[in-house]
Amino acid sequence: MPVVLRSARPFADCVSPAVPRWVLQACGCLLLSWGPLAHSQGLSLQMSERLQETLPKAAVEQAPVFVSGQRIEGQTDARVVVEGDAELRRHDLVIRAQRLEHRRPDNLAIAQGDVRINREGDVFEGPALQLQLDTYEGVFEQPRFAFLRTGGEGDAAQVEFKGRDLLVAHRVRYTTCPRPASGEWAPDWYVSASRIDFDQAEETGTAINGVLRFKGVPLLASPWVSFPLSDRRKSGVLPPTFNIDNRSGLEITAPYYLNLAPNRDATLYPTLMSRRGVDLAGEYRYLERTYAGVLRAAYMPNDRLRREDRWAATLQHQHQLGRHDWLGPIGLRLNLNRVSDDNYWRDFPRTSTALTERLLPSEAVLSGGRGDWSFSAGAYRWQTLQDVDAPIVAPYDRLPSVAVAYRPRAWAGWGDTSLDVLGEVTHFRTDRSPVIGGLNQTTDVNGTRWLGVAQFDHTWQTPGWYLRPGLRLHARQYQFAQGVGPVGERQRSQSFLIPTAFLDGGLFFEREASLFGRDVLQTLEPRAFYTATPFREQGYLPVYDSSALDFNLATIFTPNAFGGHDRVADLHALTLGLTSRLLSPQTGAEWMSFGVAQRIRLSDQRVVLPGQTPINERLSDVLFGGSLNWTPQWSFGGTVQYNPKNRESVRTTLSGRYSPGNYRVVSAAYRLQRGESEQLDLGWQWPLRDLLGGPRVPDLGPGRGLGPGHWYSVGRLNYSLQDRRIVDLIAGFEYDAGCWIGRIVLERLQQSRTSANQRILFQLEFTGFSRIGSNPLQTLRENVPRYQYLREQINPPSRFERYD
């Protein structure tokens, strides 16, 4: 039987005297008699002391030491020698060895033969150890080690413990490749160094004369390199990235991260492009109690291809300016985006500034509100990047735009009644010269618009039906820089007051049913929407912010066919719709839905956008929509816009997805716009072993893949059936070796009808250490539906994972 000695405390202190039985009974009766009194006086109980993860230093020094083994000899408070399965425990430290000596005066532990240390999950194994238990200082000869938090492993000629948070390894190898249970250990990759300092307090490792080797081949060498031991931020050089681009050539980026403060950081992105030159880019992030934002900028002096300087800048800023007695909390929002020229979006589609759109907004907005009132005041400008092959019309700048809204939250005694009131004044400005086109349509004219919109509606609702009548008033007044209107009647000022009445109603039916052996709750929901708006001639007005609403199952039940405020459609129409759903009786989850709707015009719609003709068709296109989620693995959806007169679909979208588990997903979509485009969209992430007919391997959970030795195919393809060509393509492979992952991806993005941007991305990810090469992860996550990282820290390891 092993003998356990306990030091630093007299044996008598560890023994409690026996308590007579009558004393325990009396205490129990006394506690029962206190019950009503405690309840009447509100007696509060204190929580017991919680388990501490880490004891204070003073408590650790006073913690007892436990030793056990097959044979123990020594002197009390002097020296103890344990032989045969020797073990020493103290707080979070466990030492095992064939022979263990503990010297009480200096609290020194000397272990020999199959020595193993386990401290909070970090394990060291080797032949000999000397360790001062109070200061955690000592030397371990020829140890193997494994860290719990990072999964890192390695071996060294010697490890010096220099306190609880610092250890220094000499002539060391470090990797995250697991050590086999037996046989020689030859990790696929490792960092060899003359010395590595593992600083647990700073959560960093620092290697002196370090060399990164992969499959025995040295990849990188440095006299000094620092790497993280956690996801904690740290200043330093980030892994370089490499791209091969058909426009810019070879791109090499060497990022440098600056951890300026806990709430501020910056990243520099110097990039060498073999065909263009050097691009100097950076990002600065800040977070304060009342404001936060991101500033990004890039500058390339003398682009050799364009023979000019190139630059880009973007700023996103949010600021809480304080609280006003009348206006409530006031906030400022800045969104500023500018580039040097029209070709920037085409030449730099993947720079850190991420300015790849052709319409770049710049806006400054001051907003606030109190109670039912809110306001905003802002200035909005656009930079339009033109393409001679596909020109676009630039939006009007709004300099400035001031709006006030009133939306009472509840009306006492009125139930489900709502009132929305909007008042707005906007000055629209453009640099284009005014043009008077057909039908006296005036375009590109500056002007100021005063706007007032009020909507009042009330809803009566029961479990089986609802009815919502409403009234809307739309008032506008324009002041133009020059006269607009019919010839001979052009005026600089125009006013409108347009009322709209609508009535929305529906019924709800449901029944219990059974389908394919499954109990379901089926609903039937007919709906009718009536709207009436009188005609007001608006065709000669400029279009500042109006556009046609997308025709779908949501917008067909709205009183206006346009978004914005420069056109109010003279709709006199009745919209009829029917929806049926299959629901889970237990959870209410929707397994299947189907809807159909059609608008019946009771009179012609004469208010249209420029270039359009009045609509005299009494029946609109029929809209069909549905979704199917019968099992968690399969899902389908689709919408069809069908023209009954021509007996053909005008627009069709069909989609489906199959995902039987993690890292297995295939999605497909078919999109048809009659006379414009017809495209097929495919996306996937799938293990190659499944595709080649191998046995199905279960996944290890999110962020862990299927285990070592698996290939994955990943990609997305957008194919034009009309043009019979690939529009966009992202396709590649990933290989998971356990402690490292290899990725190679081909990316092709269409820039115009005649040009495309292509690049090859290759990356080696050394799990828990670093990545080398170009990074395709963001591209895959943004483009492949439901793409999952093969390695991602979901939950930190438990402190009991390596408990001894």
Its pTM stands at: 0.79
HEC sequence for 72-123: EEEECCCEEEEEEEEEEEECCEEEEEEEEEEECCCCEEEEEEEEEEEECCEE
Q: 447: which strand partners?
A: 428, 480
Pair (78, 209) in one structural domain: yes
Q: Which residue has the tokens 């999950």?
A: 121
Phi and psi at 389, nearest 5°, equal -85, -20
Mean pLDDT of 577-583: 96
State the greatest distance between any 2 C-alpha atoms of the chain, in Å, as a whole number. 118
Q: Rounded distance, CA 404 to CA 425, Å?
A: 9
Phi and psi at residue 61, in whole multiples of 5°? -65, -25
- Higher pLDDT among residues 336 and 19, named by residue: 336
The pLDDT, as a whole number, for residue 16 is 35
Contact 227, 255 (CB under 8 A): no
The yes-or-no verdict on residue 204 having pLDDT over 50 is: yes
Same domain? 71 vs 171: yes
Chain mean pLDDT for the chain: 86
- The confidence band for 481, taking pLDDT boundaries of 50, 70 and 90, is confident
- Which DSSP symbol is given to 438? G
pLDDT on residue 486: 67
Of 237, 261, 290, the domain-final residue: 237
User: Are both 250 and 176 inside the same structural domain?
Assistant: no
Q: Mean per-residue pLDDT for 424-451?
A: 79
H/E element holding 347?
helix 344-347
* Domain-embedded: residue 507: no
Determine the pLDDT at residue 148: 86
Average pLDDT over residues 159-169: 92
Does a cis peptide bond (omega within 30 degrees of 0) precede residue 223? Answer: no
How many whole angstroms separate alpha carbon 381 and alpha carbon 67? Answer: 76
Residues 6+ apart with CB under 8 A from 488: none
pLDDT recorded at residue 491: 83
Q: Are 215 and 758 in contact (CB under 8 A)?
A: no
Q: Is the pLDDT of residue 336 over 90?
A: yes
- Of 162, 92, 82, which Cα lies nearest the Cα of 123? 92
- Residue 356's nearest CA partner among 750, 760, 680 is 750
The residue assigned the tokens 């436990």 is 66
Q: What are phi and psi of 555, to 5 degrees?
A: -75, -15
The answer to whether residues 112 and 216 belong to one domain is yes
Backbone φ and ψ of 599, nearest 5°: -100, 130
Number of Cβ within 10 Å of residue 508's Cβ equals 16
Do 181 and 253 lie in one domain? The reply is no
CB 363 within 8 A of CB 335: yes
Contact present, 743 and 776 (Cβ < 8 Å): yes
Report phi then psi at 796, rounded to 5. -65, 155
**Model pLDDT for residues 233-289, shown as the tens digit of each residue:** 888 888 888 888 888 888 899 999 999 999 999 999 999 999 999 999 999 999 999
pLDDT tens-digit readout, 111-128: 999 999 998 888 999 999
Same domain assignment for residues 156 and 252:
no
Helix %, strand %, coil % for the chain, to 5? 5, 55, 35
Residue 248 identity: S
- Whether 20 maps to a domain, the answer reads no
Residue 597 CA to residue 577 CA, distance in Å, equals 4
Task: At 192, list the tokens.
Answer: 């060899």
Based on the domain organization, do 217 and 319 belong to the same domain?
no
The answer to whether residue 677 is domain-embedded is: yes
d(CA 62, CA 59): 5
pLDDT for residue 43 is more than 60: no
Q: What is the arithmetic mean of pLDDT over 442-446?
A: 77
Comparing 109 with 434, the larger pLDDT belongs to 109
- What CA–CA distances, in Å, run from 508 to 171, 462, 523, 567, 628? 76, 9, 7, 35, 21
120 and 104 within one domain: yes
> Are 216 and 246 members of one domain?
no
The CATH number that applies at residue 127 is 2.60.450.10
Q: Are residues 131 and 142 in the same domain?
A: yes
Whether residue 596 is contained in a domain is answered as no
**Contact by Cβ (8 Å): 577, 597:** yes
pLDDT at 338: 94
| Cα 488 to Cα 321: distance, rounded to the nearest angstrom | 51
Paired with 469 in beta bridges are 503
Domain-embedded: residue 513: no
Task: Count the domains in the chain.
Answer: 3
Residue 700: the pLDDT is 79
Dump pLDDT digits (tens) for 78-92: 889 999 999 998 878
Is the C-alpha dihedral spanning 244, 246, 249, 251 positive or negative?
Answer: negative
Residues above pLDDT 90, as percent of the chain: 58
Has residue 384 been placed in a domain? no
Same domain? For 229 and 358 the reply is no
Higher pLDDT, 522 or 487: 522
The Cα angle at residue 187 between residues 184 and 190, in degrees rounded to 5 = 135
∠ CA 536-417-464, nearest 5°, is: 105
Q: Helix or strand or coil: residue 500?
A: strand
* H helix or E strand, kind and range, residue 451: strand 447-458
Question: 199, 220, 237: which is the final residue of a domain?
Answer: 237
Inform me whether the pLDDT recorded for 753 exceeds 90: no
pLDDT, position 2: 36
Instruction: Identify the pLDDT of residue 258.
Output: 93
Task: Answer with the one of 203, 237, 271 that is the final residue of a domain.
Answer: 237
According to the model, what pLDDT value does residue 619 have?
94
Q: Report how far residue 511's alpha carbon sits from residue 595's, in angstroms, rounded to the nearest whole number.
A: 18
Average pLDDT of span 514-533 = 94
Residue count (the chain) = 804
Distance CA 664, CA 787 (A): 9
CA separation for the pair 225, 207 (Å, rounded): 5
Contact at 8 Å (CB) between 562 and 544? Answer: no
Structure tokens at 350: 């993947």
Q: Please state which of the ranges 313-327, 463-477, 521-535, 568-582 shows the lowest mean pLDDT.
A: 313-327
**pLDDT given at position 702:** 79
- Structural domain that includes position 233: 58-237
Mean pLDDT on 298-308: 93
Quick one: pLDDT at residue 193?
Answer: 95
Long-range CB pairs of 196-200 (<8 Å, 24+ gap) are: 196/168, 196/169, 196/172, 197/166, 197/167, 197/168, 197/169, 198/147, 198/166, 198/167, 198/168, 198/169, 198/229, 199/165, 199/166, 199/229, 200/164, 200/165, 200/166, 200/229
Q: Is residue 89 part of a domain?
A: yes
641-693 pLDDT, tens digit per residue, is 999 998 999 999 999 999 999 999 999 999 999 988 999 999 999 999 888 77
Q: What is the pLDDT of residues 697-746, one digit of tens each?
A: 777 777 788 889 999 999 999 999 988 899 999 999 999 999 999 999 99
Q: Is 709 left (phi over 0), alpha (psi -120 to 50) or beta?
A: left
The angle at the Cα of 449, spanning 447 to 453, to the nearest 5 degrees, equals 165
Q: Which residues pair with 534 in a beta bridge?
A: none
Helix (H) or strand (E) run with residue 478 in it: strand 465-484
Residues 257 and 228 in one domain: no
Query: How many Cβ atoms sit within 10 Å of the Cβ of residue 78?
Result: 10
pLDDT at 5 over 60: no
Judge if the upstream peptide bond of residue 105 is cis by omega within 30 degrees of 0: no
- Distance between CA atoms of 118 and 144, rounded to whole angstroms? 12
For residue 402, the one-letter residue type is V
Q: What is the pLDDT of residue 571?
A: 94
Please check whether residue 238 is in contact with residue 223, taking contact to mean a CB–CB distance below 8 angstroms. Answer: no
Q: Which pLDDT value is given to residue 17?
A: 37
**396 found inside a domain:** no
